[in-house]
Structure 1
């Protein structure tokens, strides 16, 4: 069996203070961080103790994880396990990158987001170039506010051509976007309009719950991050029995980490093996297209 796991532990703190984010500049106590560390180590052990299954893992923390050594160590260990196909993480890329050399870089992937109000473009770009020189797979994202257009355009110009720069659509702001704003975002990210939709999902088949699950720090299993009903626990010896094909119970799905698993959308044909780290299959930037 191959199972994709979206892991979100108890980390809810970040070193950036983006005004649109509920976890901006939030701090946690040493005791709270210790719980997150223990939970993550237990999760990594679970993966290593199930060699009969293949796993792909995406860490989707409510905050910045890679500034904490235990997330770096988790990626090192996971990428070295023979039953792990991929270990990816969402990050603002503010951490040091020394730990990357200890990973199996064929299995490591980063989903990096540029926040121009908290880090200089030059500093962020240097991190990206370091990753590229280390042959690490990564995508770069920006939040789709019009006020960031100059930085977004400059970043696209300076990034290597083969690095995909995506626009994270701000759904609440879409009615206020001018046609010029939307055309700009599409010129940067030709897949932008895939991300502005609220896709009908109720009753539709989804890989979530069958070959894709979400797991929290206690090991509780959910079909996805957006359906709050628990289906089991990975630390229960019967956890595999909780996996089943069921139609979605939400009316719509509008987040990339959710809708890419809706079967009727066939997003796997768009992203291929890069679906977790948000890299389109066979991406080339020179013509701003996907082939």
Structure 2
């Protein structure tokens, strides 16, 4: 069985202070960070011990993880395990990147987010180009506020064409966007409009809870990040009994890491093996041509 895991431990602090983020500039004590480190190490040991499974893991921290060495070390260890298919992480790319040389690069992936208020275009672009030069698969993206259009244009013009640049739709701001704004975001990210929806999910089947699960630092299993009821714990001897198909109990699903796993949307066909790190299947071959129009990048 190939089990996908969304891991979110006790980390709730970040080195950036984005206004829209609840964890901006939040500080944690040394003891709290030590707890997060212990949780990560226990989780890595559990993955190592369950070699009869194939795993793909996406770290989705409430904050920036890669400024902490234990997350870097976790990714190094995971990518070196034969039964781990992929290890990916959401990050603002503010850390040094030399440590990726110790990873199995074929199994490593980044979901990198650009925060224009906290880092320059050139700095973020430099980090992206270094990842590319080091041979690491990654997607890059920006939250879709119209005031960032110039920076988004600059990134798309200067990133290699094979790098997917996604735009996160700000759902509550959609009524305030002009048609020109939405057309611009769609011209940068052909899948932008997919991210603008609240998809009906109540009673719909989903891979979450069966072949994908959410795990916290204590090992508690939830079917996904958006349904809070626990279904088990990975550190219990019978944890596998919690893995079976369920229908969703929420009215709608609107976050990318949730709705991509709804069966009826069939977005696994769009993202393929890049579904965790948000890289569309065969992006560089089949979709990059959508971004080559003469005036497509004008803000």
TM-score (norm 1): 0.98
Aligned equivalent of 2:268: 268
**CA distance, structure 1, for counterparts of residue 158 and residue 114 of structure 2:** 13
Aligned equivalent of 2:291: 288
Deviation at 1:134, TM superposition (A): 1.0
**CA distance, structure 2, for counterparts of residue 167 and residue 275 of structure 1:** 16
Aligned equivalent of 1:71: 71
Aligned equivalent of 2:45: 45
Aligned equivalent of 2:240: 240
**CA distance, structure 1, for counterparts of residue 277 and residue 110 of structure 2:** 6
TM-score (norm 2): 0.96
Deviation at 1:98, TM superposition (A): 1.2
**CA distance, structure 2, for counterparts of residue 287 and residue 174 of structure 1:** 23
| Contiguous gaps of at least 5 residues in structure 1 | none
Deviation at 1:116, TM superposition (A): 1.1
Matched length: 289
Q: Cα deviation per residue 1:42-98 (whole Å; 9 max; x = unaligned)?
A: 000000000100000000000000000000000000000001000000000000001
Aligned equivalent of 1:22: 22
Aligned equivalent of 1:199: 199
**CA distance, structure 2, for counterparts of residue 195 and residue 288 of structure 1:** 18
Alignment RMSD (CA, Å): 0.8
Q: After TM superposition, where is structure 1 displaced by more than 2 Å over at least 4 residues in a row? A: 284-289
Deviation at 1:288, TM superposition (A): 2.7
Q: Cα deviation per residue 1:11-30 (whole Å; 9 max; x = unaligned)?
A: 00000000000000111000
Aligned equivalent of 1:254: 254
**CA distance, structure 1, for counterparts of residue 230 and residue 51 of structure 2:** 25
**CA distance, structure 1, for counterparts of residue 126 and residue 145 of structure 2:** 23
| Contiguous gaps of at least 5 residues in structure 2 | 293-299
Deviation at 1:287, TM superposition (A): 2.6
